[in-house]
């Protein structure tokens, strides 16, 4: 399940490459590690597993990013 106290990640970007998003939000300590997690199928956005670290994903307010087993972050659009 999803933990109750999920941190918010604020960004003004409309879309980001998935690898950059995982790294920027704290889901991985490096872009290399972010790429590995994504290619292993350990990253999902709103429940959808994405295995292409170069995929541009829309930043939707409230979307849930999961990286690995225990990292969750809620995407928030900066207004």
Q: What is the pLDDT of residues 38-77, one digit of tens each?
A: 999 999 999 999 999 999 999 999 999 999 999 999 999 9
Would you say 26 and 20 are in contact if contact means Cβ atoms under 8 Å apart?
Answer: no
pTM of the model: 0.94
Q: What is the distance of C-alpha 25 from the center of its chain?
A: 7
Domain membership of residue 26 (yes or no) is yes
∠ CA 63-59-45 to the nearest 5 degrees?
45
For the domain that residue 71 is a member of, what is the CATH number?
3.10.290.10
Give the structural domain span for 19: 7-77
Distance CA 46, CA 10 (A): 16
- Other beta carbons less than 10 A from residue 43's beta carbon: 27
Q: How many domains does the chain have?
A: 1
Distance CA 79, CA 6 (A): 20
Domain membership of residue 64 (yes or no) is yes
């Amino acid at each position: 399940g999803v933990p109750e106290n999920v941190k918010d990640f604020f960004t003004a970007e409309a879309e980001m490459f998935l690898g950059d998003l995982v790294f920027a939000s704290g889901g991985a300590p490096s872009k290399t590690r972010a790429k590995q997690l994504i290619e292993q199928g350990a990253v999902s956005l709103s429940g959808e597993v994405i295995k292409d670290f170069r995929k541009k994903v829309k930043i939707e307010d409230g979307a849930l990013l999961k990286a690995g087993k225990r990292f969750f972050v809620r995407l928030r659009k900066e207004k």
